[in-house]
Structure 1
Amino acid sequence: MRYFKKVTSKSITSNYWAWGKLVGITGFAQIVVQGISFLSGLLLIRILEVDEYAFYTIANTLLGTMTLLADGGISKGVLSEGGKVWKDRNKLGIILATGLDLRKKFAVVSLVVCIPVLVYLLIDHGAGILTVVLVSLCLIPAFFSALSDSLLEMVLKLHQDILPLQKNQVAVALGRLILLLTFIFFVPYSFIAILVAGITRIAGNIRLRKMVFPFADFHVYPSAEVRANILEMVKKLMPGAIYFSISGQITIWLLSFFGNTTSVAQIGALSRLSVVLSLIMVLINTLIIPRYARLRENKNILIKRSFQMTVIISLIIIAFLLIVFLFSNEILWLFGNDYKGLSFELLLCMGGVSLDLISGLFFSLSSARGWVFNPVISISISILTIVIGAILFDISNLMGVLFFNVFLAGARIFIQGGYLGYKLMTLN
């Protein structure tokens, strides 16, 4: 019996109870997932030497960029198309097959572009040839597993079959921690941590396919019509994907190119606390965005739901930042002696992450409805803010880069929030 189905009861109490169960179980599972991920991160911060942790941070940043470029808006296109036919197993399978086929093609280009950048940055920060080769090779399994898991998960999210999805994510996180505990003490190198993440994600994807099979037919071929619809979305989103693949991790990019190895390790360690906020984004993308994509085109309902989510997320973020401010020394103690004395830097880092979470919410709400801001306009405004920020702040040190990131995150809220508001207000 499925735990989660569309709520059809006319009783308001039953409606709230169903939502409470959804949020409660999903929230608990994600607390476990993010808690395990945080423990894995702490383990790496404490075990790896500063330079090895810097290599790990650079590789993870490139992994995020590679994945974003290989997607280029494909996942948004699959969500938008899948939201129209999510009850039809055959049609949903065709959309999934088309999305996976496109991602494989985009992945080749992404690898060709990003691997040379990874090699350059690793060598620039003192990595030996053997380290460069091992890190690059170990990154590939994690990259290819990331190509399919988000699309497979989307099928389960559209059907709100959440419990198996949460179990799989818990298993992947737990498997990663167990493998790290098994190997990292004896082989304390960055490439081991990267390889472990890739292996566990591949295992998780194998289980995901079995879960998705009842909802999407795998014995179908990509559709030219669906490909054209998805590529139409990609054309709108790809310029932004290229831009945000850089700007989304701009603090690490700037320190990787202009800062020293210690600063790279510090920003990587401080960013670890963002797993707390990523829990919120996972809940939004799992429970809210798929349902938002399925809402009928009703102006009042869409405005109401958008406003509710913005207020709730803002209140949670304020509470989170207050906790970081009050207990920054205790949090930094967890990271070890190499990172003590960075209390204000930690607050700045989490402030930038918090603002990015809100802008990400606005972007997800817009794209779920198929609304894409003209990339020429949005990127032009963003580049202008980058130029202004680079003039105002010193981007060669950790503090200056963190202020710079907060400034850019505020600009992204203005762009994404303004566009979402415009589209909502102009609905008929």
Structure 2
Amino acid sequence: MLEKKQNNFKIDIKGINLKAIGQVLSSQLLLQFFSFGIGIILVRELPKVEYAIYSILMSILAILSILSTSGIMIGFTKIGGDIWDDIPKLSSLIKTASSIRGYITFGAFIIAGTYGYILLTEQNVTLSHTIFFLVCILLMVIPEIYKAFITEALLLRKEIAPVQLVKIITQAFRLISIGIIFLFFNEYLSIKIILVVTVISVWIGYLYIRKRSEFLINSKAKIVQKYKKTLLHYIKLIWHNELFFAFQGQISIFLVGAFSTSNNLADLGALGRFSVIFTVLSSLVGNIYGPRFAITKNKKLLKKQFYQLMISLSIISFLIIIVAILFPNLFLWILGTKYTGLELELSLVILLGTFNLFVTSISILNQTKGWVKFRTYWEIPINILVLVSGVIILDITNLKNVLILSILVSISNIILCIANSIHGFNSYTNID
């Protein structure tokens, strides 16, 4: 009888996964089409100097987004994986986490803003423009204080459609707005207008997800001290790693922005547009495999899910690399004539994207279970060792060498992530 129930459960899980994967894949293809369309308009229309500045702004946004989570999402997912089917408890968890993240975001903005100010100054951006840019970045992140936890809660409950739809709404509004400006008011297309449009689109997305998740947002929900203690535990455990990871993830932009030319910075930003290829895959992991891994209690099934994901990503990544090597001119033609002659750099960017995909995917799985043992102690020393060695050996004023250095850093992170997974599996006990 027990065996029959287990078999039925497996069949049901497979059915949900196939349906969910179809939803995420189709919506992500549409989403990345929107994102890629926006990117190509900006790459082709903005002068290289302006696109270099835009690349810095997106780097600041990425750092601020990472720092404002600062370990809290690990604790949230770990707790949420146990209470995902209890709405009152989930509501209390959302309220508890949101109350903490507000303070974290304020501190993160000071750090990310300082980083941004330094790089923007290197590009001769005026103080008034720098302030405007940073305020826009902050306005993009503020809705995430609440939206991130609502989104994760919906994913844990396998309610994928609203999570995907909010992203599509946000990007569709950006594409339509920027497209209209490009077609009819081209002379007004500038970084400032793009940022204003982005801020509006982010807030529209936030209001939509709030409306679709009213059952999770209970005004009577209280801050639970037990949840708060767990969340603070993970924040204290890896905040320094998150701080380092935020900057390490943008090391290419930082090195090129600080030591090379605006031309190289624009080249790097333009080539980075092809990262949408890997964004689709990482979204599948984050929206499907991550939440599923979080609520799975059987060690044998966890290992099976892990190996299946790694094999699938390896096959897909190999095919992407081969296409990029065989048809580089097709990729560069999309970017426009300003970015010709970057065949080698394109191959390195695709290779870097592949390694980063594995880092992101394995990290997502590890974090859902709180498997961060080696990351806590070894991530910063190992990354610093690789970075310092690379800076000494390589000429970092050259874009190619900066990309090679970033690849070496990514490889070291893959090794560390795998070590965390091995330790996690070895120490894991089945939960009945």
TM-score by structure 1 length? Answer: 0.94
Q: Is 2:318 the counterpart of 1:309?
A: no
Whole-angstrom distance in 1 between the partners of 2:13 and 2:105: 42
Structure-1 residue corresponding to 2:262: 261
Whole-angstrom distance in 1 between the partners of 2:348 and 2:25: 26
Contact 1:355 1:413 in 2 (8 A): yes
Contact 1:255 1:264 in 2 (8 A): yes
Alignment partner for residue 86 of structure 2, among 88, 97, 101? 88
Deviation at 1:11, TM superposition (A): 8.2
Contact 1:26 1:283 in 2 (8 A): yes
- State the one-letter code of the partner of 1:85: I
Q: Which runs of 5+ in 1 are unaligned?
A: 1-6
Whole-angstrom distance in 2 between the partners of 1:65 and 1:11: 40
Farther off after superposition, 182-191 or 243-252? 182-191
Deviations 1:165-215, CA, capped at 9 Å, x for gaps: 222221111011011123352322222222222211111011111222224
Deviation at 1:82, TM superposition (A): 1.1
Rate the CA distance shift 1:60–1:114 in 2: closer, same or farther, 3 A. Answer: same
Whole-angstrom distance in 1 between the partners of 2:350 and 2:10: 37
Whole-angstrom distance in 1 between the partners of 2:129 and 2:419: 45
Deviation at 1:218, TM superposition (A): 4.2
**How do residues 333-372 of structure 1 correspond to structure 2 at under 5 angstroms?**
333-372=333-372
Whole-angstrom distance in 1 between the partners of 2:413 and 2:378: 13
**Secondary structure of 2:8's match?**
coil
Structure-1 residue corresponding to 2:77: 79
Whole-angstrom distance in 2 between the partners of 1:97 and 1:12: 33
Contact 2:17 2:288 in 1 (8 A): no
Farther off after superposition, 137-146 or 353-362? 137-146
Whole-angstrom distance in 1 between the partners of 2:427 and 2:118: 47
- State the one-letter code of the partner of 2:126: G
Deviation at 1:253, TM superposition (A): 1.0
Whole-angstrom distance in 2 between the partners of 1:134 and 1:319: 42
Structure-2 residue corresponding to 1:98: 96
Deviation at 1:224, TM superposition (A): 2.4
- State the one-letter code of the partner of 1:57: S
Whole-angstrom distance in 1 between the partners of 2:295 and 2:191: 42
Deviation at 1:13, TM superposition (A): 6.4
Structure-2 residue corresponding to 1:219: 220
Q: Which runs of 5+ in 2 are unaligned?
A: none
Whole-angstrom distance in 1 between the partners of 2:137 and 2:14: 43
Structure-1 residue corresponding to 2:26: 28
Rate the CA distance shift 1:116–1:8 in 2: closer, same or farther, 3 A. Answer: same
**How do residues 8-27 of structure 1 correspond to structure 2 at under 5 angstroms?**
10=8, 16-27=14-25
Whole-angstrom distance in 1 between the partners of 2:428 and 2:117: 48
Whole-angstrom distance in 2 between the partners of 1:75 and 1:205: 18
Whole-angstrom distance in 2 between the partners of 1:146 and 1:341: 39
Structure-2 residue corresponding to 1:154: 152
Identity of aligned residues (%): 24
Rate the CA distance shift 1:392–1:81 in 2: closer, same or farther, 3 A. Answer: same
**Secondary structure of 1:371's match?**
coil
**Secondary structure of 1:317's match?**
helix
Structure-1 residue corresponding to 2:174: 176
Deviations 1:39-96, CA, capped at 9 Å, x for gaps: 0000111111111111111011011111111110111211111111111111101111
Deviation at 1:140, TM superposition (A): 2.0
**Secondary structure of 2:142's match?**
helix
Structure-1 residue corresponding to 2:248: 247
Contact 2:136 2:195 in 1 (8 A): yes
Rate the CA distance shift 1:121–1:11 in 2: closer, same or farther, 3 A. Answer: closer
- State the one-letter code of the partner of 2:348: L
- State the one-letter code of the partner of 1:50: K
Contact 1:98 1:223 in 2 (8 A): yes
- Structural RMSD (CA): 1.9
Deviations 1:377-426, CA, capped at 9 Å, x for gaps: 22212211222222332212201101111111111111111221232134
TM-score by structure 2 length? Answer: 0.93
- State the one-letter code of the partner of 1:188: L
Deviation at 1:133, TM superposition (A): 3.0
- State the one-letter code of the partner of 1:141: L
Whole-angstrom distance in 2 between the partners of 1:12 and 1:370: 25
Structure-2 residue corresponding to 1:3: none
Whole-angstrom distance in 2 between the partners of 1:117 and 1:426: 39
Q: Is 2:185 the counterpart of 1:187?
A: no
Contact 1:97 1:218 in 2 (8 A): no
Rate the CA distance shift 1:242–1:307 in 2: closer, same or farther, 3 A. Answer: same
- State the one-letter code of the partner of 1:282: S
Whole-angstrom distance in 2 between the partners of 1:329 and 1:127: 33
